[in-house]
Chains A and B, each alone.
Chain A
Amino acid sequence: MVLKRSFAGILVLGSCGFVACGPEEPARAPALAFVNDPENEHFGTVLLTGARQSRDWPAVFTVRVEGADREAPPVLGDYIVEGDSVRFRPRFAFTAGLAYRSAFENVEITFAMPGRDPEERPRVEAAYPSSAEVPENLLRLYVHFSHPMRAKDVPARVHLYDSDGREVPLPFVEIETGLWDSEGKRLTLLFHPGRVKRGVGPNLALGPPLRAGFVYRLVVDRGMKDQRGFELEAPFERELRVAPPDRTSPDPTAWKLNRVEDRSAPLEVELDEPLDRALLLRLIRVERDGGLEVEGVASASENETRFLFTPREPWSPGSYRLFVDPDIEDLAGNKPGRLFDEEIGRAPSAAKGADLSFEIR
């Protein structure tokens, strides 16, 4: 017999419903009910009413975990006799997400503890690059979670599958605890540089992890847990359509700075190609002509082909400069003036930053 929980937090029913078990009935048939503790949804007791004589209660009135080992004893707890009813109070609180079955003679009820509140569960909020199309020599993926996650779940819970559904072996640098930001909310998946870089051992032996023309899926299992032990609300999946490798450096001198019309509006910069989001947000700064750094918030849009900088205080008229750090990278790890993997025989060049000026009128 299936139990339903009422909103009042009580709930029900054994061999008879409420109607048949009215107080006017002289000899009540035994009934079982799960009674919630109004203070805490995971606490509660099981109430047996209508049992006519005292017994060895643990032997005849049992509560078991549904689906548990068949040879396991019933749940440990205390039996409290209250007049003609007996209350079972478990030694430990019932566990969220588990179902229980209580039995007395031929009466049986099941009741389920609510799972973790879905609103509290962690979820993947975003993954970068945003674009579904990525170069064959993509260097990093970023997965942003809503809550601080357990660092060590990464190798077992994050997978890359090819178009045939086969898991790509060892696509990412294996770090037992993952590459996390200090909050534990942003996971960096670094494609194995030795497989991305042409002509080095792992690349020759295993090939690049991604191949142009194919479609891959990045999957984060639902079983990935946050630091509180809650699993993801839902598994996360992202399709990656792989384009030919990107072997050109980003060129900040080709970026287009849009004119700021409204003084509280962001400065918008159209980039020449999608850039690595984490580096983009960290490695560009805005200065006033005299060298004073402008405080504000950096963001990106249009699949990381657009950089936005919103000043904390409205812009003042004058001359400004946008400094681009030479370590900024595109999706394939190419820096301005320096490729991630130069052709053999070509001396590597130094990466070059840039310094772009603009005016606020």
Chain B
Amino acid sequence: MRKAFLFLALALGALYVFSTGASTEDGGFQTGTPEILSMSALAFGPEGVLFIGDGKGGAVFAVDLGDKAPNGGKDLLTVPNLEGKIAAFLGTSKDDVMIHDMAVNPISQNVYLAVSRGRGQWDREWLLPNDIADASVLVKVDSYGALSEVPLKGVRFAKAALPNPVSPDKKHEWKEGIPLRTDTITDVSYSGGTLYVAGLSNEEFASALWRFSYPFTGKAAATTLENYHGAHGQFETEAPIRTFVPYALGGKDHILAAYLCTPLVTFPLADLKDGEHVKGRTVAEFGSGNYPLDMLVYKKDGQEKLLIANSDLPFLIVDPRDIESYEGAIAEPTKTYVAGVRYEPRSGVGVQQMDLLNPETILTIRRHPGGNLDLVSLPVKWF
């Protein structure tokens, strides 16, 4: 009897799986080949799951890489001439490859890069790799510095579509000939069961932050954003967040976001309601003519610090306690380009990508004065 019951349960279960297809697995996972049109942004989630933001496809993918062998090592990882090695891997010269994003698997400390060919087309200021080409190859750099491709065929993955991403027909206002679609997804970050996605929606106020519960349930919360930019002397709703981190300020969850020309803006998570338009609080201006490229939080001597890598400025270090104690907001044009919360500049120009390799090491991809683009580890104790 008991056996028969078990059989019935199995049969019903099989019927259920069969009738609703592969997507019935928890969180919509299925095994196959995800149709990723562009790897615009990368971030790791739990259990070695890599989130891939696909700006062109207007979706995010969770890919189970099966890369779960723990590595608690503290070794520094350095790969000289990373760009030359990627170029050789893609069969070309190093002036024709681009790295769109980098993410470190915190379990294995393996490094993942979204790469493309086509840098030869990069002929103007203010463009970013996503404006030039679609990253189509995922490259893994292991702890020995060896490069290999991560084939995205026959993998376990789940997909979630962005509600109302910016239309492919819309053109960028000041980057001639560039569709806004290249900024559909500018950054992704996972924290506490939620995947956060920054970019451009098709709403009147385009700048958007989407939130997906992970495992994916199918529904995303979307909020459009606005901030006051002191260096430009105006409220901005079109410019997307360039890089951000979820972070608790004064015990309350926030998004700390940096924008082009470089305001730092805070959004309390509690304010980010689905379908609403939210004004952030601008707490600092770090200078015009600069893309903030990456942001992370490191911990030194028990104190957390925010580190920002930039296209045209050195490293900027911000003490979150200074943000907490900063009262008011920048809401008027700034006479100089710098205002608000203090920051500490630190040597580190030319850093294009950044992530924590482990709690004691910051991994960077950095263009050195000689021209080489290297993978370089920087011990946290140096900061």
Answer yes or no: do A and B interact: yes
Which residues of A come within 8 Å of B, CB atoms? 63-65, 68-69, 71-77, 90-95, 98, 100, 150, 152, 227, 229
18 A-B pairs with CB atoms under 8 Å apart are A63-B91, A65-B87, A69-B84, A69-B88, A72-B84, A72-B85, A72-B88, A73-B89, A75-B88, A76-B149, A91-B137, A92-B117, A93-B91, A95-B93, A95-B96, A98-B91, A150-B123, A152-B123
Q: Within 8 Å CB of B145, what residues of A?
A: 71
Interface centre among A72, A73, A98 (most CB of B within 10 A): A72
Known: A92-B92, A95-B92, A98-B93. A68 touches B87 (CB 8 A): yes
Q: Which residues of B contact A75 (CB under 8 A)?
A: 88-91
Report yes or no: A68 in contact with B96, Cβ–Cβ below 8 A.
no
Partner of B88, one of A73, A94, A152, A227: A73
Docked CA distance A150–B122 (Å): 11
Q: Is the CB of A73 within 8 A of B91?
A: no
What's the minimum C-beta distance from A266 to chain B, rounded to whole angstroms?
40
Q: Does B81 contact A (CB under 8 A)?
A: yes
The 6 tightest CB contacts between A and B, nearest first, are A72-B88, A68-B88, A72-B85, A75-B91, A69-B84, A95-B92
Say yes or no: A71-B87 contact (C-beta < 8 A), given A91-B137, A92-B117, A152-B123: no
CA distance A64 to B88 in the complex (A): 7
**Measured between alpha carbons, how far is A160 from B120 in the docked complex, in Å?**
28
Q: Closest CB of chain A to B87's CB: distance in Å?
A: 7
- In chain B, positions 127-170 with a C-beta closer than 8 Å to chain A are 137, 145-149
**CB proximity of B205 to chain A, nearest CB, Å:** 34
Interchain CB contact under 8 A, A73 and B87? no
The residues in B between 44 and 95 inclusive whose CB is less than 8 angstroms from any CB of A are 81, 84-93
Chain B residues touching A, range:
20 to 34
User: Quick check: A69 and B90 within 8 Å, CB to CB?
Assistant: no
Q: Which of A65, A71, A90, A229 contacts B120 (CB 8 A)?
A: A229
Q: Report how far A227 CA is from B96 CA in the complex, Å.
A: 15
**Can you name the residue of chain A whose Cβ is closest to the Cβ of B86?**
A72
Instruction: Return chain B residues, CB-CB under 8 Å to A100.
Output: 91
Taking the closest CB of chain A, its distance from the CB of B175, in whole angstroms, is 16
Q: Which residue of B has the minimal Cβ distance to A95?
A: B92
A91 B90 Cβ-Cβ under 8 A:
yes
Question: A98 — which chain B residues lie within 8 A by C-beta?
Answer: 91-93
Closest Cβ–Cβ distance, residue A25 to chain B (whole Å): 33
Given A71-B145, A73-B146, A93-B91, 7 more A-B residue pairs with CB atoms under 8 Å apart are A65-B91, A75-B88, A75-B89, A92-B117, A95-B91, A95-B96, A229-B120
How far is the CB of A297 from the nearest CB of chain B, in Å? 33
**B92 contact from A65, A71, A74, Cβ within 8 A:** A65
Question: If the complex has contacts A73-B147, A76-B137, are A68 and B123 also in contact, measured as CB distance less than 8 A?
Answer: no
Q: Which residues in B have their C-beta under 8 angstroms from that of A72?
A: 84-89, 147
**Which residues of the partner chain A approach B121 to less than 8 Å between Cβ atoms?**
229
Task: Compute how far the CA of A63 lies from the CA of B86 in the bound complex, rounded to whole angstroms.
Answer: 14
In contact, A71 and B137 (Cβ under 8 angstroms): no
B100 to chain A, nearest CB (A): 16
Report yes or no: A76 in contact with B89, Cβ–Cβ below 8 A: yes
Name A94's contact: one of B84, B89, B91 (CB within 8 Å): B91
- Residues from chain B with a CB closer than 8 A to the CB of A150 are 123
The distance from the CB of B310 to the nearest CB of chain A, in whole angstroms, is 21
A74 to chain B, nearest CB (A): 8
Docked CA distance A75–B86 (Å): 9
Most-contacted residue by chain A among B85, B88, B146, B148 (CB, 10 A) = B88
In the complex, what residue of chain B is closest to A97 when comparing beta carbons?
Answer: B93
CA distance A229 to B122 in the complex (A): 10
Give Cα A179–Cα B147 distance, bound, in whole angstroms: 44
CB atoms of B148 and A73 under 8 A apart = yes
Chain A residues contacting B120 (CB-CB under 8 Å) are 229
Nearest CB of A to B65, in Å? 18
B82 to chain A, nearest CB (A): 9
Most chain B C-beta atoms within 10 Å of own C-beta, residue among A64, A65, A69, A98: A69
